[in-house]
Amino acid sequence: MSNQVWIKNDINSDNLDYDYDIVENDGIIELKYSHTSDWSEGIKGSICAKLVDDGDKIKIKIGDKKIKLGYNELRELKCLLLYENDEHIELRETNMIKMLK
């Protein structure tokens, strides 16, 4: 499954920017930089963060930082981030279209 992450980066605008892609495969969720012109060629499409649910804990890797959280700790962190974050963020499902010649 793949989704696009759209974020309101400019508080003076109602426009959202397509900044990231979220790809989920077999319980691994990867946050990737989008292929838009906002990112440099060296990082477009590369993984910036990863989340793995190993059935016991949640393992998160952001850059070189690694975090292990229990399920309750993840929920508590999510509550803090949702409270602190007043950005407008949307997830949009990516539609795959297969073109035939």
The mean pLDDT values, 10 residues at a time, for the chain of 101 residues are 78 80 90 87 93 94 95 90 68 56 45
pLDDT at res. 98:
47
- Please provide residue 85's backbone torsions phi and psi, each rounded to the nearest 5 degrees: -90, 115
* pTM for this prediction: 0.72
Helices marked H in 53-96 = 71-84
In the chain, what is the greatest distance between 2 CA atoms, to the nearest angstrom? 51
Domain residue ranges of the chain, discontinuous segments joined by +: 2-93
